[in-house]
């Protein structure tokens, strides 16, 4: 499907195909960046995406995204059936993931996801006060109560499901409580993102710093108790020192994943969907590799504002999505991101130093043993 050009990022390694099955959603979260519409991906477009992924001859992720992808479960099932068929012939290797708000998760879907190894990530903001503040249904009602039994069913069937938590200035005071709530609920993978487009100011950032300090204490206590968990803000920052930068965490705009809009238009990342300026072709007619490469190069250029920064290799300032969300441009670094990095790094490093000094075995295995996830699975089994 890739056009013949001098630059072909596809040859650079594995990429994931994120299929935006629909722009519509059964919720109306306050901070959502998706322009809701009634667009739905056709089966033909979904299967064309799988065919494009197949040609990579590599292990490829098929990610179902939205809007709310579970509004179109049948489309998802047919796409996975087709991909499994291709996989069974030995033509490609796929893994699947769906990101959902959870409201439409039911036993049947959970069983199907397990049987087909479709990984489920659920968006949830933690304690009721935080979750219901922004994650509302179309009637403006919080969804916390409705999700309570669903979370239990999800974790029973898929115990490694991650919780995706968004922290907004309006909920930052509940950050640590929310992480604790999700952890106690049974989530072992807690992925936290700031709403960079939110109305952050000095006061809310000070509050964020206090929450990070509380979270660091929780992280230390859980690690001392040999609990197994992944708490993204600290894991990413600690890893950035141990592994020498954020290399593994970078999406590299269009290099490791592309987004397919409902109409088949290809974009470099989820947050660009619908902005024709960033369109890189169509899944039916081919990806414009020249456009893709130029976007990638533009994003990779060192940002002038960060030239002299001592921690730029450990920082997420190169995330085009995030910069665009915050500043409107992929090249202008988000001041909120900068402030976040400046407060988080020393807290994460102090935490890691304490645990290393104690030669905490859980910390050492988790951070220094590449095979820790495998050992952990063996233990669980």
Which residues contact another protein by CB under 8 A?
184, 200-202, 205, 221-222, 224-227, 241-244, 305-312, 333-336, 338-339, 342, 345, 349, 352-353, 355-357, 359, 361-362, 364-365, 368-371, 374-375, 378-379
From the CB of residue 23, how many other CB atoms can be counted at a distance below 10 Å? 21
CB of 14 to another protein, least distance (A): 20
* Nearest CB to another protein, comparing residues 285 and 369: 369
CA atoms within a 13 Å half-sphere pointing along the CA-CB vector of 380: 12
Least Å distance between CB 204 and another protein?
A: 10
Whether the Cβ atoms of residue 287 and residue 306 lie closer than 8 Å to each other: no
SS (H, E, C) 316-360: CCCCHHHHHHHHCCCCCCCHHHHHHHHHHHHHHHHHHHHHHHCCC
DSSP E strands, the chain: 16-20, 59-65, 93-100, 118-123, 163-167, 189-194, 230-231, 257-260, 266-267, 281-282, 286-287
Nearer to another protein, 128 or 342 (CB): 342
Measured CA to CA, the distance from residue 216 to residue 226 in angstroms comes to 15
Following CA atoms 44, 15, 116, 187 in sequence, which dihedral angle do they give, to the nearest 10 degrees? -130
Nearer to another protein, 91 or 302 (CB): 302
- Shortest CB 354 distance to another protein, Å: 9
Tell me how far the alpha carbon of residue 299 is from its chain's centroid.
19
Q: Is the peptide bond before 48 cis (omega within 30 degrees of 0)?
A: no
Q: How far is the CB of 306 from another protein (least distance, A)?
A: 6
Strands 257-260 and 230-231: unpaired
In angstroms, what is the minimal distance from the CB of 209 to another protein? 14
Radius of gyration of the CA atoms of the chain, in A: 21
Q: Please state, in angstroms and rounded to a whole number, the distance separating the CA atoms of residues 320 and 329.
A: 8
Minimal distance in Å, beta carbon 305 to another protein? 4
Q: Are 121 and 182 in contact (CB under 8 A)?
A: no
Q: Nearest distance from residue 190's CB to another protein, in Å?
A: 15
Closer to another protein by Cβ: residue 152 or 353: 353
Q: In whole angstroms, what separates CA 196 from the centre of its chain?
A: 14
Q: Which of 62, 17, 33 is nearest to 166 (CA)?
A: 33
Q: Which is nearer to another protein, 107 or 226 (CB)?
A: 226
Give the tokens for residue 226.
Answer: 């040999």
CB nearer to another protein: give 42 or 201: 201
Q: In whole angstroms, how close is the CB of 361 to another protein at the nearest point? A: 4
Q: Which two tokens stand for residue 78?
A: 């047919």
Angle between helix 320-327 and helix 335-357 axes, rounded to 10 deg:
130
Least distance (Å) between residue 369 CB and another protein: 5
């Amino acid at each position: 499907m890739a056009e013949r050009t001098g630059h072909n990022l596809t040859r650079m390694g594995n990429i994931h195909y994120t299929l935006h099955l629909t722009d519509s959603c059964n919720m109306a979260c306050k901070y959502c960046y998706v322009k809701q519409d009634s667009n739905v991906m056709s089966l033909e477009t979904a299967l064309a995406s799988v065919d494009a992924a197949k040609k990579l001859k590599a292990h490829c992720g098929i990610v179902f995204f939205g809007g709310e992808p579970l509004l179109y479960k049948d489309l998802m099932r047919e796409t996975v059936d087709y991909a499994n068929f291709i996989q069974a012939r030995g033509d490609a290797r796929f893994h699947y993931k769906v990101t959902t708000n959870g409201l439409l998760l039911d036993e049947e879907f959970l069983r199907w996801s397990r049987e087909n190894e479709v990984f489920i990530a659920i968006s949830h903001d933690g304690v009721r006060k935080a979750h219901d503040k922004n994650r509302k249904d179309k009637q403006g009602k919080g969804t916390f109560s409705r999700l309570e039994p669903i979370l239990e069913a999800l974790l029973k069937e898929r115990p490694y499901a991650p919780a995706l938590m968004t922290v907004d200035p309006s909920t930052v005071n509940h950050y640590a409580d929310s992480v604790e709530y999700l952890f106690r609920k049974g989530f072992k993978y807690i992925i936290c993102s700031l709403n960079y487009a939110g109305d952050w100011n000095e006061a809310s950032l000070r509050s964020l710093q206090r929450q990070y300090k509380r979270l660091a204490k929780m992280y230390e206590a859980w690690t001392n108790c040999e609990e197994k968990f992944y708490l993204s803000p600290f894991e990413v920052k600690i890893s950035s020192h141990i592994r020498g930068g954020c290399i593994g965490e970078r999406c590299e705009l269009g290099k490791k994943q592309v987004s397919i809009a409902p109409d088949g238009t290809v974009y470099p990342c989820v947050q660009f969907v619908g902005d024709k300026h960033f369109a890189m072709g169509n899944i039916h007619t081919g990806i414009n590799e020249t456009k893709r490469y130029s976007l990638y190069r533009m994003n990779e250029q060192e940002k002038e504002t960060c030239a002299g920064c001592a921690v730029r290799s450990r920082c997420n300032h190169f995330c085009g999505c995030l910069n665009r969300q915050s500043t409107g441009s992929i090249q202008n670094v988000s001041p909120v991101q900068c402030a976040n990095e400046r407060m988080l790094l020393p807290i994460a490093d102090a935490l890691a130093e304490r645990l290393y000094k104690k030669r905490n075995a859980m910390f050492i295995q988790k951070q220094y043993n590449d095979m820790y996830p495998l050992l952990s699975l063996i233990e669980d089994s």
